[in-house]
Chain A
């Protein structure tokens, strides 16, 4: 019988992120190298990447990455898109066939903008118009899954180890100022293509290490606001919560962290500043259904920035580092050292403490 240490032991997923605050665009090679170090934290049932700044030539168009089970679902989806969007470019996403990645769906990419008259008739802004259309595709077209729909960004995910997923999608051929990655070790939900991380809506992406014990309460809450959780895993709901709180409620990401990883009531009571105490109390009371319980460390990508956040008890590991204009996040220090062996600063953020980085020329979200 093999002893512990001689066999692979569950560690519950790996996350990694690289953010260039100066907007410098780097290839996907570095993020692949980082996530590969944590190979043993995954079990081959999911890996994925999100890159920002990767489509500068189409930066004003929504980039849709879509998985299809069949040509029928593709045709139906394209008819749906044709009626609502101006499709200025469509193609299969280039992939490199590898024996490590099997059973791939049809993977297509579209650059689109809402048809002006349809947008005007809808009386919605273009983000809301687009997000509702994408939710409708995922919800009502059998075998079609929009896995990414933001501008100048994209999600690349599959069933497999993350380094193999990177090879499959030729991630080294893309250049972006921000990258996140995930290696999956599903414990109680299926490992399938659309269920791999990152999860995404518009430009918001989430990679997650952990397990949400409040999932069903959170799901019921977001579904009251028009979202639909149909990707069969808990992380999806974090994406919709953050979209709702930032885009629809106008909260900053730091405020969101006080909702989803809210301080304990005892901590709030001990807060000396009365305004701060009242603000934190308001957040907990007003958005109580969006409190996420259970262990998590997440990286949230968005246009122009990235947020790293642990659950308030810090039940999953998270390490951060800085070197010059570049910020790194990872589940393990080794995954940072492999791409930056001499960081200016390396630290472990506290539980519930959001670390938010943005482009140096951008206003914060």
Chain B
């Protein structure tokens, strides 16, 4: 596997090989790694900068640490797997592909994620998230597992303004300050098997976790209340 030292070769050194399988070492805040990548597999060591995997169009990026803000911004396809935590504004406007975060996500994860025909954005977070998870969600699936069983699986204003898509939370308690324009329901067996189990099993396999443990307990779904009009969904703070 080709090794690219980003301190020496820079972003251009990555771009030369981005359709191959490469290992990128020495990352320290360099932005836009994997931006628009279509193929290839990238293993990243260090702390990559903002907007990693932005506009990602295919291929896979594995990060052995944390990612900063705006990871997977407007991502189209492919996989971003982070074996640590993510900063704020993760997967903003994501249009397809999978984003797996082993640890926590910051504020505003999955804002304005979308789905279109056969494209469905998938965001799975192993830890907890900050406020505004899935704000204005327009499609796709967000799953938050809270594997460390901490209090408050999300922050405030989860799903505010969402009008499509589903947020699945591995909890029995609805998030705090949930808008009255949203509905919550317990996930049934059929939905568990057809939707959640395949995604969580895939997530677990990427990080060598026990899928059974990740699936333990009950899941709650948060969705838009379709009986209330779109225009009312922009909740006042």
Contact = CB atoms under 8 A, between A and B. Distances in A.
Interface residues on B, range: 20 to 34
B155 interface: yes
B130 A350 contact: yes
B106 A335 contact: no
A106 interface: no
B131 A351 contact: yes
A317 interface: yes
A337 B131 contact: no
Given A5-B32, A351-B107, A333 B66 contact: yes
A5 B32 CA distance: 6
B50 interface: yes
The DSSP consensus for interface residues of chain A is loop
A262 to B, nearest CB: 13
B31 A313 contact: no
Contact of A333 (B11, B47, B54): B47
A351 B106 CA distance: 10
Interface residues of A, number: 26
B198 interface: no
A286 interface: no
Given A334-B28, A335-B29, A314 B106 contact: yes
A333 B88 contact: no
Contacts of B156: 264, 267
Question: Per DSSP, are chain B's interface residues mostly helix, strand or loop, or mixed?
Answer: loop
19 contacts: A3-B36, A5-B32, A5-B35, A9-B31, A38-B29, A40-B31, A266-B177, A267-B156, A313-B132, A314-B88, A333-B47, A333-B66, A333-B68, A333-B87, A334-B68, A337-B47, A338-B28, A346-B66, A350-B155
Interface of B: 11, 27-29, 31-32, 35-36, 46-47, 49-51, 54, 66, 68-69, 85, 87-88, 106-107, 130-132, 155-156, 176-177, 237
A11 B36 CA distance: 20
Contacts of A337: 28, 46-47
Given A9-B31, A40-B31, 19 more contacts: A3-B36, A4-B32, A5-B11, A5-B32, A5-B54, A11-B50, A267-B177, A314-B130, A317-B87, A332-B49, A332-B68, A332-B69, A334-B68, A337-B46, A338-B28, A348-B88, A348-B106, A350-B155, A351-B130
Contacts of B132: 313
A350 B88 CA distance: 11
B131 A314 contact: yes
A145 B155 CA distance: 43
A313 B108 CA distance: 10
B153 to A, nearest CB: 14
Nearest to A333: B47
A11 B50 CA distance: 10
B28 A314 contact: no
Interface string A323-339: 00000000011110110
Contacts of A266: 177
Interface in A270-284: 270
A125 to B, nearest CB: 41
Interface in A28-45: 37-38, 40
A282 B88 CA distance: 31
Nearest to A317: B69
A37 B87 contact: no
A171 B132 CA distance: 41
Contacts of A348: 85, 87-88, 106, 130
A65 B49 CA distance: 36
Give the interface centre of A264, A266, A317 by most chain B CB atoms within 10 Å.
A317
A338 B87 CA distance: 18
Sorted nearest first, the 10 A-B pairs with minimum C-beta distance are A334-B29, A5-B32, A314-B107, A334-B47, A334-B28, A37-B29, A5-B35, A337-B47, A333-B47, A317-B69
B28 A5 contact: no
Given A332-B50, A333-B87, A350-B130, A270 B31 contact: no
Contacts of A270: 176-177
Nearest to B28: A334
Interface in A338-355: 338, 346, 348, 350-351
B166 to A, nearest CB: 24
A333 B67 CA distance: 9
Contacts of B155: 350-351
A266 B235 CA distance: 13
A40 B32 CA distance: 12
B106 A332 contact: no
A313 B29 contact: no
Nearest to A338: B28
